[in-house]
Each structure stands twice: as structure tokens, then as C-alpha cells.
């Protein structure tokens, strides 16, 4: 009798624990890439020159070992990409369109038929295998001609971008139902002009990032409205933009307000105008930057205000929230001797803050991206507090870069499963509406300034092989198993994920991890008891 009771109890506990680790039905798993990073074929047919073509050609000494001239050669080997996406069992594949492959001059003066056909084939090939194409219109490869005219600092770009968007929608909206207008505007603006991560790498930290910030938002909004008025009634798709988020946590509890300001600087500046009820810049941040600008002697704020019409144009232009997230930071006031504060990696002079990483966070190949998976759950909770508890969230990127070509990539599996664990907690314990998750990236590719040195792929790519052979890593097997079962199988208990020395008010997950662990131990004891 006792034996039977133990069996029943044991089964309940085991299945209970199992269901905690099961993703809701309908949850979508995918993987992502971008045009310049994988395609190659940089001047194939009538393709025009992009800022990345120009930059990488002009600075072979700065970009680590090479350029995107050939990359993974997906321009020729796109069938291989579909084959491996299918092998993984992906529900969706997110790729981007190269503006100058379709519109060589950047303007609608000429359309490349070959370029148009290329993406059409890719979309049809994916659909044939039951893989949903998720398409990014812009992943950093601006037509060089538009850059010569000021690029993202010129307000006219909002119209140039919407002309491009309309053409792309007209070609593919019948088959593509999920659209990302712009990938990570913070990298395009703060990234290009402050940190010099992205082409054109013009160091102008004072005005350019803020002008670009405003123009990317308006460009996105115009594209969203084109879809909304001209295509939605026919095709019923969804459109958003992808923001790159860096979770900010107070270094010690008294810096809670500073961390909040840092979040508004990083996430709010690119999300508040679109996703908040009232629209416009995050009010507190707007005030801080206006005051700092005045102190510098500017007669108007460096963060350019929105007109009433612009605010309304932007507000509400989303169908879901798309987030990329790789890393977190701790926030404290700046102290003498802190060194240069480059937003958003080491700090901000405007906010008088310094950002540091917790030394216990694991660092992969890209040293500015130490991983703090718990930060992902807290970032999601913050988004929901700011923009609505029911906000549908699609995680469009996270991933792990390594320096070696090891196929047995335990560390990448850890990274992915640690983040998925936090996503499960967000869904099951916090009630977040997370619709899907996408790994950066399908296969090793051109990692921008880092060239071919760091590898983020589920598949290894042999860049010495003309056929650019793609070989699955252990993480690919892990991911395809996960997609098949919809259950996160791997349970590892690691001390660094449970302790939190900073005693933040935000720490909310340690109790649930503890419960999970206790349940597991309890189950093991019960099973032992049954066997005896």
C-alpha cells in the first residue's frame, strides 16, 4: 500500500517537474542570420554597394580576417541553408534582405530582377519545408549612396526607407507573415557613432546617435503604417522592430533609480516612443539629456524632440515586441578614474554612470558580452511593467560566441538552455506571453568587426572550403531534440546561477530554482525508496 502510494506520488512529482519544463503548445523555435553576414555575392549580378562592402574593403587591416565578399556563400548555397534549417526542425528562419541586392542605387529607380528572384526562391524553399520565413528588412547594410547623403542622420532617410519597405512588401508579403523592419537601431546609432561596432564607424558621439535614434524610429513607423494600411487586410501579417536590450541592475540596492535610468537610456529610448501608451521619449531621460545639453552650451536638447504629429506617427506601431539580448550590466555612479564611458558598454557621461559586468558572469569569445541568463527574465518582467503585461514577446536573438571550432560545444548548449530556463520561468511563473525564441545563429558567419574569429553557429562552417561545408555541432543536436520534444531536458545545477550577492529587490527567481531543486531531490529519494 505504502509502495503504491510512493509510486503514485513519485509519478505526480516527476510529471509535474516535466511539465514545468515543457514549452506551451504553439511556442515557436527558430534561428536567425543576416544578409551581409551570410550571403556573399557582394557584387553578383547588378547588386549595389553597401556601407559594409565599402567599409570592409577600405579597412582590411581593421576588420578581423576578411570581409563579407563570400562569407557562407548563401547567395549560391541557399538550398544548403534550407536543408540544415529543415534538419534542425526549425519552425521559423529569420533572415534579412540586402537593400542593394534589390535596389542597387538605394532608390526605386532600378529594381534587380535577379535580386528579387533570389529572395523569392529562398522564401518558397523554406515554405516547401514547412519553415516560416521571418524577414528583417534592414540588418545594417545601408546602400553606400544613402550614407554619402548622411545616412541615418539625414531626416529624409525615413522616406527612403519607407520606399524600400513598400517595394519589399509588394514582392513578398503574400508569403511572409512576420516582418522585422529594423534590427537593433541602438547598434545602428549608438553602435556606429559611439562604439564603432558597425559601419560606417564615424566617431561622432555628440549629435549623431540621437539624430539616428529619432530617424530609425520614424522610418520604422512609416514602414509599419504602410503595411498596416496597404497589406494587412490582404495578408494578416505582423510587423515590429527588433531592439537589442542590455539588462541593467543596480550595483548595490541604493542605485535602483540609476539602473532604471540606464534602462530608459538603453531600452526606453528605442521602445518607449513605440510601445508605451503615451508615446514620446521616456520622460525622465528626456529631462536628464535636455539638462546636460544645456550645461554643455547647446541651445536645444541633443535628444531631438518629436513634434506632436511625429509622436502620434510612431506611437503604437507594433504587433509584438521583438528582442535580442546577449548581456547585462551593473550600474553605479561614475567615480574619478573610471576611464572613458562609452555608451552602452562602459557607461554614459550624460547619466554620470559607469557600467560594469559581474566578474562571475561567463564570457565567451566576445568579451563585451558576459552572460547573465537571470537578466533575461528580469528584462522581460521590466518590459511588461513598462509596456503592458500582455505584450506578446518574440525573442529574435540570443547566442554564444566561441573562438574555437569545437563541435562538442557544451558551453553553447549551457548558454542556450540557461536562457531557455529563464524564459520558461517567465512564462510559467510570471505569466509572460512569449511567442517564440530564436538562436543567433544558424551557422558560423561574418561577425562584423570580429570577422571570422568568433563563431556563433549551431553549425560549424569551413571557410577554407569553397563549398563552405556546414557541420552540425552538439548544440544543433540539442536544439533539434528540444524542438521535437518541446521539453527542456538538460538540468544542471550550478551555484553561480543561484547566488546573488547584490541583494537586489528585483531578485525573484532564486526561490523557484530552489523549489525545482527540492522537487528533484524529493523525486530521487522517492524513487530510491521504491527500488528498496
* Catalytic residue from among 80, 397, 421, 447: 397
Of the candidate residues 132, 397, 444, 460, the single one contacting ligand GBH (CB under 6 A): 397
Query: 522, exposed or middle or buried, with CB in 10 Å at 0-12, 13-18, 19+?
Result: middle
Binding flag, residue 96, ligand GBH (CB under 6 A): no
By CB under 6 A, name the one of 169, 171, 224, 448 that touches ligand GBH. Answer: 448
**Minimum Å distance from CB 460 to ligand GBH?**
16
Interface residue with ligand GBH among 122, 126, 182, 187 (CB under 6 A) is 187
475 binds ligand GBH (CB under 6 A): no
Q: Which of 167, 290, 449, 487 binds ligand GBH (CB under 6 A)?
A: 449
Q: Is 286 in the site for ligand GBH (CB under 6 A)?
A: no
Using the rule CB under 6 A, give the single segment among 161-169, 204-212, 447-455, 460-468 that binds ligand GBH: 447-455
| Choices 16-24, 164-172, 353-361, 448-456 (CB under 6 A): range interacting with ligand GBH | 448-456
Scanning 119-127, 281-289, 330-338, 364-372 for contacts with ligand GBH by CB under 6 A, the matching segment is 364-372
Query: Distance between CA atoms of 250 and 507, rounded to whole angstroms?
Result: 11
Which of 181, 183, 348, 509 touches ligand GBH by CB under 6 A? Answer: 183
Span between the terminal Cα atoms of the chain, in Å: 15
The full 3-state SS of 258-316, as one line of letters, equals HHHHHHHHHHHHHHHHHHCCCCCCCHHHHHHHHHHHHHHCCCCCCCCCCCHHHHHHHCC
Q: Which of 75, 92, 326, 372 binds ligand GBH (CB under 6 A)?
A: 326
For residue 396, the surrounding DSSP H or E stretch is strand 393-398
402 is an interface residue for ligand GBH by CB under 6 A: no
Task: Report in angstroms how near the CB of residue 470 gets to ligand GBH at its nearest.
Answer: 17
Q: Is 442 in the site for ligand GBH (CB under 6 A)?
A: no
Choice from 158, 181, 293, 324 touching ligand GBH (CB under 6 A): 324
Q: Which member of 292, 372, 440, 478 binds ligand GBH (CB under 6 A)?
A: 440
Stretch (H or E) spanning 108: none
Query: Which residue from 132, 141, 184, 190 is in contact with ligand GBH, where contact means CB under 6 A?
Result: 184
Secondary structure of 33-91 in the HEC alphabet? CCHHHHCCCCCCCCCCCEHHHHHHHHCCCCCCCCCCCCCCCHHHHHHHHHHHHHHHCCC
Judged by beta carbon, residue 343 or residue 456, the one nearer ligand GBH is: 456
**What is the distance between the alpha carbons of residues 8 and 23, in angstroms, rounded to a whole number?**
24
Bond prior to 344 in cis (omega within 30° of 0): yes
Site for ligand GBH contains 450 (CB under 6 A)? yes
Among 290, 368, 435, 483, binds ligand GBH (CB under 6 A): 368
Binding piece for ligand GBH, criterion CB under 6 A, among 253-261, 309-317, 449-457, 509-517: 449-457
93 binds ligand GBH (CB under 6 A): no
DSSP 207: S
* 197 counts as binding ligand GBH under rule CB under 6 A: yes
Contact region with ligand GBH (CB under 6 A), list: 120-128, 155-163, 442-450, 514-522: 442-450
Q: Are 150 and 173 in contact (CB under 8 A)?
A: no
Measured on CA atoms in the order 292, 297, 301, 302, is the torsion positive or negative?
Answer: negative
474 binds ligand GBH (CB under 6 A): no
Q: Is 370 helix (H, G, I), strand (E, B) or coil?
A: coil
What sign for the dihedral angle of Cα 257, 258, 263, 268? Answer: positive
Choice between 199 and 313, CB closer to ligand GBH: 199
Nearest to 437 by CA among 21, 25, 30: 30
Q: Is 397 considered catalytic here?
A: yes
Q: How far is the CB of 22 from ligand GBH (least distance, A)?
A: 29
Q: Write down the catalytic residue from 184, 249, 310, 350.
A: 184
Is 71 or 157 the residue whose CB approaches ligand GBH more closely?
Answer: 71
Distance CA 145, CA 419 (A): 40
Using CB under 6 A as the binding rule, the residues of this chain from 337 to 356 that contact ligand GBH are none
Eight-class DSSP state of 254: G
Determine, following the binding rule CB under 6 A, whether residue 138 of this chain makes contact with ligand GBH: no
User: CB count, 10 Å around CB of 479?
Assistant: 24
CA separation for the pair 351, 323 (Å, rounded): 24
Compute the Cα dihedral for 192, 196, 202, 207 and give only its sign. positive
- Measured CA to CA in angstroms, residue 511 lies from 77, 375, 494, 519 at distances of 48, 16, 15, 12
Contact (CB, 8 A) for 85 and 24 = no
Rounded-to-integer distance, Cα 234 and Cα 168, Å:
15
CB of 242 to ligand GBH, least distance (A): 8
Contact status: 51 vs ligand GBH (CB under 6 A)? no
Per CB under 6 A, the segment of 155-163, 414-422, 446-454, 473-481 that binds ligand GBH is: 446-454
Which cell numbers in the block locate residue 410?
557544451
- Taking CB atoms, the residue at the shortest distance from ligand GBH is 450
75 binds ligand GBH (CB under 6 A): no
Using rule CB under 6 A, residue 112 touches ligand GBH: no
Strand pairing of 92-96 and 238-250? Answer: unpaired
Catalogue the active-site residues. 184, 397
Q: Which residues of the shown chain bind ligand GBH in the complex (CB under 6 A)?
A: 34, 37, 183-184, 187, 197, 244, 324, 326, 366, 368-369, 397, 440, 447-450, 456
Amino acid at each position: 500500500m505504502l509502495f503504491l502510494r510512493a509510486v503514485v506520488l513519485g509519478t505526480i512529482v516527476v510529471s509535474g517537474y516535466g511539465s514545468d519544463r515543457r514549452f506551451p503548445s504553439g511556442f515557436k523555435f527558430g534561428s536567425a542570420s543576416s544578409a551581409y553576414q551570410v550571403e556573399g555575392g557582394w557584387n553578383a549580378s547588378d547588386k549595389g554597394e553597401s556601407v559594409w562592402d565599402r567599409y570592409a574593403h577600405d579597412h582590411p587591416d581593421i576588420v578581423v580576417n576578411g570581409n563579407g565578399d563570400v562569407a557562407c556563400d548563401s547567395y549560391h548555397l541557399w538550398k544548403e541553408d534550407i536543408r540544415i534549417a529543415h534538419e534542425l526542425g526549425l519552425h521559423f528562419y529569420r533572415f534579412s534582405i540586402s537593400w542593394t541586392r534589390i535596389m542597387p542605387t538605394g532608390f526605386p529607380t532600378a529594381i534587380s530582377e535577379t535580386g528579387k528572384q533570389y529572395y523569392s526562391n529562398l522564401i518558397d524553399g523554406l515554405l516547401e519545408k514547412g519553415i516560416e520565413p521571418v524577414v528583417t528588412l534592414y540588418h545594417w547594410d545601408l546602400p553606400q549612396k544613402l550614407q554619402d547623403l548622411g545616412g541615418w542622420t539625414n531626416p529624409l532617410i525615413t522616406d527612403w526607407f519607407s520606399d524600400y519597405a513598400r517595394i519589399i512588401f509588394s514582392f513578398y508579403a503574400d508569403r511572409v507573415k512576420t516582418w522585422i523592419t529594423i534590427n537593433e537601431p541602438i547598434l545602428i546609432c549608438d553602435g556606429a557613432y559611439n562604439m564603432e561596432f558597425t559601419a560606417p564607424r564615424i566617431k561622432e558621439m555628440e549629435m549623431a546617435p540621437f539624430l539616428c535614434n529619432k530617424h530609425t524610429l520614424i522610418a520604422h513607423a512609416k514602414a509599419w503604417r504602410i503595411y498596416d494600411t496597404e497589406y494587412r487586410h490582404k495578408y494578416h501579417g505582423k510587423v515590429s522592430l527588433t531592439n537589442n536590450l542590455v539588462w541593467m541592475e543596480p550595483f548595490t540596492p541604493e542605485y535602483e533609480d540609476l539602473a532604471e535610468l540606464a534602462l530608459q537610456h538603453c531600452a526606453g529610448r528605442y521602445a518607449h516612443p513605440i510601445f508605451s501608451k503615451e508615446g514620446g521619449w521616456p520622460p525622465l531621460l528626456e529631462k536628464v539629456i535636455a539638462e546636460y545639453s544645456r550645461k554643455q552650451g547647446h541651445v536645444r536638447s541633443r535628444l531631438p524632440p518629436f513634434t506632436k504629429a511625429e509622436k502620434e506617427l510612431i506611437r503604437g506601431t507594433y504587433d509584438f515586441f521583438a528582442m535580442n539580448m546577449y548581456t547585462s550590466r551593473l550600474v553605479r555612479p561614475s567615480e574619478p578614474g573610471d576611464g572613458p564611458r562609452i555608451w552602452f558598454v562602459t557607461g554614459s557621461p550624460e547619466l554620470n554612470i559607469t557600467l560594469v559586468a559581474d566578474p562571475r558572469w561567463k564570457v565567451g569569445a566576445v568579451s563585451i558580452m558576459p552572460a547573465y541568463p537571470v537578466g533575461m527574465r528580469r528584462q522581460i518582467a521590466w518590459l511588461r511593467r513598462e509596456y503592458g503585461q500582455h505584450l506578446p514577446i518574440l525573442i529574435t536573438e540570443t547566442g554564444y560566441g566561441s573562438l574555437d571550432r569545437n563541435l562538442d560545444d557544451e558551453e553553447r548548449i549551457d548558454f542556450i538552455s540557461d536562457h531557455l530556463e529563464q524564459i520558461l520561468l517567465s512564462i510559467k511563473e510570471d505569466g509572460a506571453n512569449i511567442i517564440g525564441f530564436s538562436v543567433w545563429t544558424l551557422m558560423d558567419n561574418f561577425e562584423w568587426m570580429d570577422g571570422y574569429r568568433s563563431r556563433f553557429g549551431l553549425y560549424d562552417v569551413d571557410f577554407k572550403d569553397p563549398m563552405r561545408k556546414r557541420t552540425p555541432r552538439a548544440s544543433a543536436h540539442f536544439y533539434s531534440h528540444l524542438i521535437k520534444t518541446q521539453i527542456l531536458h538538460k538540468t544542471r545545477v550550478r551555484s553561480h546561477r543561484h547566488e546573488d550577492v547584490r541583494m537586489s529587490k528585483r531578485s525573484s527567481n532564486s526561490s523557484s530554482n530552489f523549489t525545482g531543486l527540492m522537487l528533484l531531490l524529493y523525486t530521487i529519494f522517492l524513487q530510491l525508496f521504491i527500488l528498496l
